[in-house]
Amino acid sequence: MVVQKTFLAGKVLTVVLGCGAFTYAHAAKTCTTADYSGIYAFSSVGFLLQLPPEGAALLGTISQSGRFLPDGKGNLFIETNASYNGIVLKGDIPATYSVTPDCIVNFDLVLPFPLSAPSKFQGVLSSDNRQMSLLLTEPSGTVIRGLHVKQDLRFCSTPDFSGSYSIDLYGTTNSPKNLAGRFQRIGRIDADGEGHFKASTTANYNGRVVKEDFTGDYSVNARCYVTLKYTAPAAAGSENIVINGAIGGHGEVVQMMILTDGWGVGGSLLRQQQ
């Protein structure tokens, strides 16, 4: 019995030590300011919950998309479109940033007009510094979730957006009035590489789920922004919809938002086959 217990104890010790060795097989990654550089496509969706009285009209959903252009030295420029409770505005701004050894990126900036407020964001790098999730830390009263994907392509053109992509969009809409409220769309879009697309989707308008299929046109500019245009189905008001965002990676993702007034919706298109 003594021999058997000793043998079992040895096996347990071996398993424990083995697990420990496996757990620490990968050295902890460290980052510097230089690790965050290049161009990142981004989109974000959140909620403005608290603003001064003069900003009351902006309370509600905020969505954004565009590009972050960090220089690897602590400075960056942000290209962005933003929707404040359905009011869509352009808002390019400069900013500064720092990176901690554990790959946390801290941003300091002044939010564009009409908010014009000093703000701080915090993100964490992942996937060999190719992706980042981030949130707003200051001022209080706002919840924003963002996703950044590194952009590898330069001088894009229409064929750079082609193939089949999954659709993942969410936020809120104020239009049409009978469907106003929280919104989500999933589905698939097929782009032909020549400026035309078709989409098969399921949409949720504030709890009302509908099947929506549509076709439209698109363009891609030299800075790798994709713009989709289509007419919504009659049941959704036959509204002219414009969606815009930047390509990430080598074309496998597009971080987007709806630019049509009345919408605060953003998200991603993900290529289904690499």
Q: pLDDT in tens for each of the 274 residues of the chain? A: 444 544 444 444 444 444 444 455 566 789 999 999 999 999 999 998 887 776 778 889 999 999 999 999 999 999 999 999 999 999 899 999 999 999 999 999 998 878 888 999 999 999 999 999 999 999 888 899 999 999 999 899 999 999 999 999 999 999 888 899 999 999 999 999 999 999 999 999 999 999 999 999 999 999 999 999 999 998 888 999 999 999 999 999 999 999 999 999 999 999 998 6
End-to-end CA distance of the chain: 59
Last residue of some domain: 150, 172, 203? 150
Q: Which domain holds residue 90?
A: 33-150
4 assigned to some structural domain: no
> What residues contact residue 58 under an 8 Å CB cut-off, 6+ apart?
48, 51, 84, 85, 87, 114, 115
Last residue of some domain: 129, 150, 171? 150
CA 207 from centroid of its chain's CA atoms: 23
> What residues contact residue 31 under an 8 Å CB cut-off, 6+ apart?
99, 100, 101, 102, 103, 125, 129
Q: What is the CATH number of the domain that holds 56?
A: 2.40.128.120
CA 18 from centroid of its chain's CA atoms: 39
26 assigned to some structural domain: no
Residues 172 and 107 in one domain: no
Count: domains in the chain? 2
Token couple for 166: 């999954």
202 assigned to some structural domain: yes
Q: What are the phi and psi torsion angles at 153 (to 5°)?
A: -75, 150
Q: Of 30, 39, 26, 34, whose CA–CA distance to 103 is shortest?
A: 30
Q: What is the CATH number of the domain that holds 249?
A: 2.40.128
Residues 210 and 108 in one domain: no
